């Protein structure tokens, strides 16, 4: 039997999430810039420069939009990284999801351990 070949045309992915072609928001695009900024802080820079952030992004193969980088740098100017994390934490917490679950099944383990040790009537 001969395999069928799918000849359906695949459309390329859009770089914009909007069907009208509007540019992505700062919140969407700014995360990679902020992540690079925080990586620079982890790397030992107390107040990373735009050039530090740009170098990290380019090292990761990310094309840098200078206007977006400049906007992010003005938003973090004069702020400590723990302030940025605290401000962002509330935004991420509002998204919900995650957590819970995974706690079941632990009740049988102590009984099994006691039986194996000979403490459950085996003699």
**Interval 52-98: pLDDT, tens:** 999 999 999 999 999 999 998 998 899 888 888 888 777 666 655 55
**Interval 2-43: pLDDT, tens:** 555 555 555 544 444 545 555 666 566 678 898 999 999 999
Asked whether the predicted pLDDT for residue 108 surpasses 50, the reply is: yes
What pTM, to 2 d.p., does this model score?
Answer: 0.54
Instruction: Report yes or no: 69 and 50 within 8 Å, Cβ to Cβ.
Output: yes
Total number of residues shown for the chain: 123
Residue 16, pLDDT score: 44
Query: What letter would DSSP give residue 94?
Result: T
Query: Quick one: residue 76, left, alpha or beta (phi over 0 = left, psi -120 to 50 = alpha)?
Result: alpha
State how far the Cα of 92 lies from the Cα of 112, in Å rounded to an integer: 41
Residue 3, pLDDT score: 54
Asked whether the predicted pLDDT for residue 114 surpasses 50, the reply is: yes
Residue 73, pLDDT score: 92
Compute how many other C-beta atoms are within 10 angstroms of the C-beta atom of residue 55: 15
């Amino acid at each position: 039997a001969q395999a069928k070949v799918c000849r359906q045309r695949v459309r390329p992915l859009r770089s914009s999430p909007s069907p009208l072609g509007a540019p992505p928001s700062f919140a969407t695009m700014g995360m990679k810039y902020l992540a690079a900024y925080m990586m620079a802080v982890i790397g030992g820079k107390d107040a990373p420069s735009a050039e530090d952030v740009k170098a990290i992004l380019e090292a990761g193969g990310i094309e840098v939009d200078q206007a977006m980088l400049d906007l992010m740098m003005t938003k973090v100017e004069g702020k400590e990284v723990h302030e940025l994390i605290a401000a962002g934490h509330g935004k991420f917490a509002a998204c919900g999801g995650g957590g819970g679950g995974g706690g079941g099944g632990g009740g049988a383990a102590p009984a099994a351990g006691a039986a194996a040790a000979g403490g459950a009537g085996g003699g």
